[in-house]
Structure 1
């Protein structure tokens, strides 16, 4: 008899993975698309917001270059946010046999 727990939030019954994890959403085929839309939104939103701030400062100070600096700052900030949220990295390791690539628990490296 199996001791797996089945819950409403986790129909697969795997108690080690909470429902709604990135691995689960990537498993249904739309995880990469959703991450791409989120990255696009962060970058475009950052450009729009910081360009408007730069435009306002240009208007107040009588300059013409702050809007461009704001757009660049917004793009960099949007990419930074998407990177910090883990949206720019691949969720599946490419190639290999799935073995761990970091140091082992005893501190020695398992690199070949």
Structure 2
């Protein structure tokens, strides 16, 4: 590529266009990032609490606490995902739910 052609390409790209493109790209993968976070919470919880259950099984001579630990870890992962606002539908305003913080609905949805 010639130096003149490269300079014309660089000058045609204004900083405001770059910022707009960067923010648009960041908004497109918000669902993917939230999905990875949910997956990480659940799998991480299962692994950690299964290892704790396995240790307690070896200590106490039982064989069922590892299963209880896995179930507790999965439930904890779902709970953390919900509290961080990762399990809600995305809003129409383009705001990522991962950026909105913990869920604040409390008991207002109870019937």
Length-normalised TM-score, structure 1: 0.59
Length-normalised TM-score, structure 2: 0.60
Other-structure match for 1:81: 80
Q: Does 1:39 align with 2:61?
A: no
Q: How does 1:21-60 map to 2 (within 5 A)?
A: 25=26, 27=27, 29-60=28-59
Other-structure match for 1:71: 70
Looking at secondary structure, tell me which structure has more helix per residue: 2
Segments of structure 1 that go 5 or more residues without pairing to the other structure are 1-7, 13-19, 94-112
Displacement of 1:92 after TM fit? 2.2
How many residues end up aligned between the 2 structures?
76
Other-structure match for 1:90: 89
Q: Aligned to 1:92, what secondary structure does the other structure show?
A: coil
Q: Aligned to 1:33, what secondary structure does the other structure show?
A: helix
Moved over 3 A (4+): none
Higher relative contact order (CA 8 A, sep 6+): 2
